[in-house]
Amino acid sequence: MSVAESLPRAAERKSRAKQPTRVRRPSREDALEAVRTLIRWAGDDPHREGLVGTPDRVVRSYAEFFSGYDEDPVALLQRTFEETDGYDEIVMLKDIRFESHCEHHIAPIIGKVHIAYLPSNRVVGISKLARLVEVYAKRLQIQEKMTAQIANTLDEVLQPKGVAVVIEAAHQCMTTRGVHKPGVSMVTSRMLGEFRTDPLSRREVLSMIGTPGGGSCEHV
């Protein structure tokens, strides 16, 4: 096999590796019984009047919380527009609110995402940026991984000159349990392309975003 013939196959393998792991989902009745088991483990009776409908409500909530597993983020960005009259400055969508759940405690993560990119020769509808956030937020997450996933997907599909993603969020796993530190937010960022290599472009995009978390949060 020639090198030219092997490259598409290597790219295909790389693409397959990026797909989320598929797992066999249990039945809905299995999920309902799992909730009943947790209620009993907590020390209550899942069959008493106030709790008898709780398993169904929890299962329906989980279907909403984790709907991102059923969506393809790459396919979401496939429709782009090239008629921009040569526009090549920063495109930014700020303050995209999201709700996610941490994969360590399944506790809520609530915050906002700022997305910016420098178009090369095409742009994408701004609603797609918000939907991209939703796809990754509606999965079990850690904030660092979610930041990278959003930036990497935009970079892969749009192939812009630069991508910047900044997320600031409060994690209920440390505000309502554990160390119990309310009022704390975490800030993560990922810069690609010119936003990573050009200090002036990086400063410009960060200036447009503002100072996440009042300038006192952790950046990774």
pLDDT of residue 181: 86
Domain boundaries, the chain: 28-65, 71-209
pLDDT of residue 19: 59
Q: Which residues are known to be catalytic? A: 102-105, 143, 171, 173
Q: pTM here?
A: 0.85
| Burial label, 138 (beta-carbon count in 10 A; 0-12, 13-18, 19+) | buried
The predicted-structure confidence for 87-96, as pLDDT tens digits, reads as follows 889 999 999 9
Pick the CATH number of 71-209 from 3.30.1130.10, 3.40.50.300, 3.40.50.720, 1.10.10.60: 3.30.1130.10
Q: 24 or 151, which is more confident? A: 151
CB under 8 Å to 32, separation ≥6 — which residues?
55, 56, 59
Q: 215 or 55, which is more confident? A: 55
Tokens of 95: 């303050």
